[in-house]
Amino acid sequence: MLTREKGGPASGEGRSAVEMQTYAFLDRLGVIYERIDHAPAMTMEVCAEIDRVLDAAICKNLFLANRQQSAFYLLMLPGKKIFRTRDLSEQIGSARLSFGTAEKMQELLGVQPGSVSVLGLMHDRGHAVRLLMDEEWRGAEYFGCHPCVNTSSLRIRTADLFGKILPATGHVPTFVHL
């Protein structure tokens, strides 16, 4: 049974360093969040029950790159939306978008495939990743995301994303309509 807990875990035992760094980052910023621990969530279908318990829309996060793998993007869109490469390519002026490699994801965001999250931007100190957000996030009260591992999910106020998290990482979102 999934249960919501306030804040990070009491102990780091059995947790990865990147996960614990994420909680420390949020705590340092004064972000109030709730957490659900669960089995690995690799698909949006698995996230449906987590979404219900979190009472926040889980964010679909896609790590994208141009054909040359020289420009990188993190796309945040509501889980229910369908991603069409052409629609996004036209809006950002980058043709031939595809998924970025696992190696680049690890290098730039500090995460493995299946765990990508806006919180990974805390590792992108060189600002090599451009944040793209579906405009629907502007009006959402909460969003759900992984703490850089796919065995926990967090419920965070969207106002804290815009007012605390993104300013701390130095990333400014580009809003897109998908």
Task: Tell me the pLDDT of the chain averaged across its residues.
Answer: 92
d(CA 21, CA 23): 6
Task: Look at residue 46 and give its three-state secondary structure.
Answer: helix
Q: What's the CA dihedral at 70, 119, 162, 97 to 10 degrees?
A: 30
5-173: CATH number = 3.90.960.10
List, for residues 35-69, the tens digit of each pLDDT value: 999 988 766 667 777 888 888 877 889 999 998 99
Question: pTM of the entire structure?
Answer: 0.93
The domain limits of the chain are: 5-173
Quick one: pLDDT at residue 157?
96
